[in-house]
Structure 1
Amino acid sequence: MARIKYISILDHTTASSPTPHVLYIIKVTFDNGQQHEVLRRYSQFVGLHEYLEDSFTLPPNHHLTNAVVPSAWVNDELIAERKSGLAAYLTHVNTVPEFQDNPIYVQFLSSPSFDMDSLGQGAKETPNMVSRDTVKIYQVIASDPDTQATPIAAAYYPSWSAWTNPPNKLNFAKFDIIFYAFATPNASATLSWEGGAQDTLRKLISSARQSGKGTKIVLSVGGWGGSYWFSQVVSSSANRSKFNNALVGAVNSFGLDGIDIDWEYPNSTGAGNPHSSADAANFLSLLKLLRTSLGWSKVISAAVPHMPWLGANGSPLTNVSAYAAQMTYVNIMNYDVNGASSKPGPNAPLGNLCGTSKQPQANAKAALAQWTKAGFPASKLLLGLPLYGYVSKSTATKLSGSLMPDPSVSPSPHPRNGPPRTLEPDAAAGDLSGMWGQQIAFNQLLQGGALVKNADGTYKGANGYQMGWDNCSDTPFLYNTARSTVVSYDDTWSIASKTQFAKKASMAGCFTWSLDQDDGLALHNVIRSNLGKK
Structure 2
Amino acid sequence: MKASSIKNLLPAFIAALFSCIPGLLKAQQKAKPEKLIVAYVTSWSAVVPDPAYVTHINYAFGHVNDAFDGIRIDNPQRLKNLARLKSKKDGLKVLISIGGWGSGRFSEMAATESTRNKFAEDCLRVLKEFNLDGIDIDWEYPTSNAAKISSSADDTKNYTLLMNTIRTKIGTAKLLTLASVADAKYIDFRAIEPIVDFVNIMTYDIARPPSHHAGLYRSGYTSGVTADEAVTAHVGAGMPVNKLVLGIPFYGHGVKGIPDFIDYRDIVKLKGFKKQWDEKAMVPFLVNSEGEYVCTYEDERSIAIKCKYMLNRGMLGAMYWEYSGDTDEGHLRKAVFSGINNR
DSSP-derived class of the 2:44 partner: helix
After superposition, give the CA deviation of every residue in 1:221-277 in whole Å (9 maximum; x if it has no partner): 000021x11111100101101111121111111110000000000011131111111
- Following superposition, the deviation at residue 353 of structure 1 comes to 4.3
Task: Give, in whole Å, the separation in 1 of the partners of 2:23 and 2:218.
Answer: 41
Q: Quick check: 1:214 aligned with 2:91? A: yes
- Following superposition, the deviation at residue 284 of structure 1 comes to 0.9
Task: Give, in whole Å, the separation in 1 of the partners of 2:293 and 2:236.
Answer: 40
Q: Quick check: 1:497 aligned with 2:300? A: no
| Equivalent position of 2:227 in the other structure | 364
Contact residue 205 and residue 256 of structure 1 kept, 8 A:
yes
- Given candidates 68, 72, 83, the residue that maps to 1:192 is 72
Contact residue 261 and residue 303 of structure 1 kept, 8 A:
yes
**Cα 1:278–1:64 shift into 2, 3 Å:** farther
| Equivalent position of 1:239 in the other structure | 115
Task: Give, in whole Å, the separation in 2 of the partners of 1:210 and 1:308.
Answer: 36
Letter in 2 for 1:330: V
Structure 2 runs not aligned, ≥5 long:
1-21
| Equivalent position of 1:506 in the other structure | 314
| Equivalent position of 2:281 in the other structure | 473
| Equivalent position of 1:350 in the other structure | 216
Q: Quick check: 1:153 aligned with 2:22? A: no
Contact residue 206 and residue 223 of structure 2 kept, 8 A:
no
Q: Quick check: 1:389 aligned with 2:266? A: no
- Following superposition, the deviation at residue 281 of structure 1 comes to 1.1
- Given candidates 79, 101, 113, the residue that maps to 1:201 is 79
Letter in 2 for 1:222: G
Contact residue 106 and residue 139 of structure 2 kept, 8 A:
yes
- Following superposition, the deviation at residue 183 of structure 1 comes to 0.8
Task: Give, in whole Å, the separation in 2 of the partners of 1:198 and 1:299.
Answer: 20
**Cα 1:533–1:199 shift into 2, 3 Å:** farther
Task: Give, in whole Å, the separation in 2 of the partners of 1:63 and 1:282.
Answer: 49
- Following superposition, the deviation at residue 310 of structure 1 comes to 2.4
Letter in 2 for 1:488: T
DSSP-derived class of the 1:220 partner: strand
TM-score computed with the length of structure 1 as normaliser: 0.57
TM-score computed with the length of structure 2 as normaliser: 0.87
Task: Give, in whole Å, the separation in 2 of the partners of 1:222 and 1:522.
Answer: 28
After superposition, give the CA deviation of every residue in 1:89-143 in whole Å (9 maximum; x if it has no partner): xxxxxxxxxxxxxxxxxxxxxxxxxxxxxxxxxxxxxxxxxxxxxxxxxxxxxxx
DSSP-derived class of the 1:161 partner: coil
Over the aligned positions, Cα root-mean-square deviation in angstroms equals 2.4
Structure of greater relative contact order (alpha carbons < 8 Å, 6+ residues apart): 2
Structure 1 runs not aligned, ≥5 long:
1-61, 74-146, 312-316, 394-432, 451-462
DSSP-derived class of the 2:61 partner: strand
DSSP-derived class of the 2:135 partner: strand
After superposition, give the CA deviation of every residue in 1:189-216 in whole Å (9 maximum; x if it has no partner): 222233xx1000001111x122033210
DSSP-derived class of the 1:351 partner: coil
Contact residue 183 and residue 221 of structure 1 kept, 8 A:
yes
Contact residue 284 and residue 298 of structure 2 kept, 8 A:
yes
Aligned length: 321
Letter in 1 for 2:71: L
DSSP-derived class of the 1:495 partner: helix
| Equivalent position of 2:142 in the other structure | 266
**Cα 1:63–1:387 shift into 2, 3 Å:** farther
| Equivalent position of 1:41 in the other structure | none
- Given candidates 371, 376, 401, the residue that maps to 2:239 is 376
| Equivalent position of 1:296 in the other structure | 172
**Cα 1:65–1:180 shift into 2, 3 Å:** farther
- Following superposition, the deviation at residue 63 of structure 1 comes to 6.7
| Equivalent position of 2:55 in the other structure | 176
- Following superposition, the deviation at residue 298 of structure 1 comes to 1.1
Q: Percent of aligned positions with the same letter in both sequences? A: 30
The structure that is helix-richer by fraction is 2
Q: Quick check: 1:522 aligned with 2:331? A: yes
| Equivalent position of 1:17 in the other structure | none
Letter in 2 for 1:337: I
Contact residue 211 and residue 222 of structure 2 kept, 8 A:
no
| Equivalent position of 1:323 in the other structure | 192
